[in-house]
Structure 1
Amino acid sequence: MTAADTTSAPPRRGLLAKLVLDTRPLKVLAYRRLWLSTVITAIGSQLTAVAVPKQVYDLTGSSAYVGVAGAVALVPLLVFGLWGGAVADVMDRRKLLLITNTGIAVVSVLLWLQALTAMGSVTVVLVLLGLQQAFFAVNMPARSASIARLVPLEMLPSANALGSTVQSFGAVLGPMLAGALIPVLGLSTLYLIDAIGLTATLWAVWKLPALPPLDGVRRTAGLRSVIDGFRYLSTKSVLLASFLADIVAMVFGMPRALFPEMAERTFHDPAGGGPALGWLFAAIPLGALLFGLMSGWLSRITRHGVAVWAAVAAWGVAIIGLGLSSSLWLAVVFLALAGAADMVSMVFRGAILQAAATDDMRGRMQGVFTVVVAGGPRLADVLHGTAGAAVGTTVAVSGGGVAVLIAIAVAAVALPAMWRYRAPVSE
């Protein structure tokens, strides 16, 4: 394209491109297929994300038990997330996605069967949850590490925004459907819909190109490979800072274990489930979705590190507002603002990781990323579930938001490399 061609572009189109979601990565066929594989399951996976804590709370009547469910899910995330990242660096990532997607679908069928037959066993629910999280922990590093192989470097923030936006769409609609479907069709139906959606994604993954290691070197995904990944991570202070930012936000400021209790006791849902529960689970992704649809301007930000710090601080402020809210709709507004902040953080943390790590290490770095992103909220489930049972939901939630602000201020001062980081440019 010549300079004349560039200057003759319609001004209105240029303005829209700066505002709306950047869809350029979808022009890449392979990335479009990977993205489509997440669209189908975006709603179903969120139905399960609501169904599990709801079923645990119904069986036990305790938010502390909901927190225990988080602890049960955390162990396989820690173990298999790290090992799965190593596996993603030594085998064809497409094959790994096929295997793990199949495993997640099978477990979803088993969750459906136990709920359908009214087994009434918390132990069975927790065991299946742990197994599902093990497959998920191996799946995510392979999926995320594949993105940098499919799109140009400068499109990484846009590709991450596309993925985050569709996940947010599912996370909005899924909980809302869950709140509506549980009283009508029963909780077991949520698991069944998730299983059907997961099965449908296998075709999209099957159509991906082969994604073997680029260097052709044969490696094994053992303990030494995982240790090498941590050794590599220790030399990348920017990556360490990006992981720490998410840990701070999620561990101290993600009170989802308290949502079932808040829905009933603060916002007056009926005991069998109701709209408040759906709104609480949906509000964060709703904010992320709305912000994501207008995220085209994010691709022009080069100071990714500063954007991450600012987003986490905004998350903390929003969580404080949530804890102090006595109105459901005010709580939804604060959660939506938190979701918008989380979208910014997620986009730039993902771009930092994919750009700063070499391809032979991306799987392992994405494994650590998976442990942090998925494990942080699980730790938060334990922390908030216990704190909520001890001091009440208001103190537990707003206190967590305050802790986010204090911790992120300390981290920003202690890790100046994050302030200096700027996005690399394709050669």
Structure 2
Amino acid sequence: MTSTDSRATDLSARAAELVPDAVARRLAVLGNPGFRRLLVGRGVSKFGDGLYSVAAMWLVYDLTGSTAYTGLAGMLTRAPGAFKLLAGPLVDRARLGRVLTLSEVAQCLVVLAVPLAAALGHLSVAVVLAAMPLLALCNLFAGPAQTAALPRLVDEDRMVRANSVASIVSKSVDATSRAVAGALVAVAGGVAVYVVDAVTFAVAALTFAVLSVPARTPPDDDLALGSYLADLRGGLALLADSLAGRMLVASLFANFLTGVALAVLPAFAATLGGPATYGLLLAGTTVGVLVGSVAASAVDGLPMGYTTVVGFVASSALWTGAVAVPGVVATVALFAASRVPLGVYNVSAMATVQTGVPDDLLGRVSAAIGSATSVVMPAGMLLGGLAGERFGSEAVMLLGGLGTALAAAYWFAVPSLRRFGSPTAVTSGEFG
């Protein structure tokens, strides 16, 4: 060994000693090559999603100047997600790597339609709006497939840590992409961001193409209509009869009024600055969720009922303060802080569902949860856009804080949720 190699080894050893045990345990899951590939694919795809979310909504607002149109755009983007429920039984039987790859390829092609229309001189708000539900339909299988792939790649005792790492990476990338998108839109325009977005989807497709996810059932099984409907009913029945379903109801309160607020966010950002401010607001909220995701594994030994109620109340107060306090810096900072408790909740809830739901039902249960969320949030966005035209963006933004407060009240009022213990205490398949 050379002296250079020796010095490098010594430095690595010293660095390892400086890493806290909690961080080392969380990062140990990265030793799994399948998880690393999934993480990279999700990260690249998430970067594209962040670029698109800023460029598309701002482009609609820029072309129309109307919150009613941004509300409609939000609805068209999210409403197709309701069909995730129908995709669940298919995801549970599919080759997940193939599902993820084809989803990214399809999204790449749809995104390219907007810059192509601009190049041909046919760009209009109708073209931008038409691409939104098509892109959402292409992404229909991706979320449930990613959720179902994780427990097939990671051991059960590392599930919370894997979700924490995945959420940290996802939210870091998302925050970065939204801030970058806001700056790019301000400098180069929304159409240019669509081109960059298409490239990210192509790279994600290549990454997922080399991902091998172990199959739970033979992928070439025929799925007859009767079997499909039975699978669908099985996922819905589990939600109806288990704690997961009661957790979902609480989330729907918050998601509806969050949708109301998101519909007017471009108009609210316009009063503070412009597209760069819009990107910063979205990035700030994502950073808050990221911080909460990091903190999730530090509090996963505490009762989830307690952390959720206290966290949601704090989130509601901080969101309200963000709207009321003047100044871009203060607004972005408070928005970010208001999302921290939601980051903790998201990781804990996901780990609870992934552990408590039997593996053979996880895809369809995840799809059902995604479908329910995709029904209430678009409805909230459509209503929020119309309300913004009537009452103004600031008044509508205040409703976002109310949604989190309602979720806290629901958790406190339902005994099984209020007394719910640590997510790490959930046993495998107990909700089944």
TM-score tier, shorter chain, comes to 0.7 to 0.9
Counterpart of 1:52 (choices 48, 56, 62) is: 56
How do 1:1-400 residues align onto structure 2 when only pairs under 5 Å count?
13=17, 16-18=20-22, 22-79=26-83, 81-214=84-217, 219-220=223-224, 222-236=228-242, 238-254=243-259, 255-265=261-271, 267=272, 269=273, 273-293=274-294, 296-298=297-299, 300-301=300-301, 303-400=303-400
1:419, distance to aligned residue in structure 2 (A): 2.6
For residues 229 and 325 of structure 2, the distance between their equivalents in structure 1, rounded to whole angstroms, comes to: 47
The range that moved more, 303-312 or 215-224, is: 215-224
The CA deviation at 1:117 is 3.9
Q: Is the 8 A contact 2:110 2:135 kept in 1?
A: yes
TM-fit CA distance, 1:361 = 0.5
Query: Are the equivalent residues in 1 in contact too, given 2:45–2:104 (CA < 8 A)?
Result: no
Q: Is contact 2:235-2:361 (8 Å) kept?
A: yes
Letter in 2 for 1:83: L
2: CA distance between counterparts of 1:14 and 1:417? 39
Report the Cα offset of residue 21 of structure 1.
Answer: 8.6
| Cα distance, 1:102–1:88 mapped onto 2, change above 3 Å | same
| AA partner of residue 148 (structure 1) | P
Letter in 2 for 1:139: A
Q: Is the 8 A contact 1:241 1:415 kept in 2?
A: no
Match of 1:4 in 2: none
Q: CA deviation at 1:50?
A: 0.5
- Of 168-177 and 205-214, deviating more is 205-214
1:220-247 Cα offsets, whole Å, 9 max, x none, are 47444323321222121x1012222322
For 1:425 and 1:62, how far apart are their aligned partners in 2? Answer: 47
CA distance in 1, matches of 2:91, 2:309: 29
**1:258 alignment partner AA:** V
Distance, in Å, in 2 between the alignment partners of 1:208 and 1:398 is 43
CA contact (8 A) 2:251 2:407 kept: no
Identity, % of aligned pairs?
Answer: 22
Q: RMSD between aligned alpha carbons?
A: 2.7
Shift in alpha-carbon separation, 1:278–1:116, aligned structure 2, 3 A: farther
> Distance between the aligned counterparts of 1:409 and 1:420, measured in 2?
15
Question: Matched residue of 1:301: which SS?
Answer: coil
| 1:170-190 per-position Cα deviation (integer Å, ceiling 9, x unaligned) | 222222212221233221121
**Structure 2 CA distance for partners of 1:159 and 1:87, relative to 1, 3 Å:** same
Whether contact under 8 Å (2:101, 2:206) holds in the other structure is no
Distance 2:88 2:277 in 1: 37
Contact 2:355 / 2:427 at 8 angstroms: preserved in 1? no
The answer as to whether partners of 1:249 and 1:315 remain within 8 angstroms in 2 is no
Q: C-alpha distance in 1, partners of 2:113/2:123? A: 14
Gaps of 5+ in 1: 1-8
> How far apart, CA to CA, are the structure 2 residues paired with 1:82 and 1:52?
26
1:6 aligned residue: none
Runs of 4+ in structure 1 off by over 6 angstroms are none
Alpha-carbon distance, 1:148 to partner: 1.0
* 1:411 Cα deviation after fit: 4.0
Residue type of the alignment partner of 1:279: L
Equivalent position amino acid for 1:389 in 2: E
| CA 1:47–1:227: 2 relative to 1, 3 Å | same
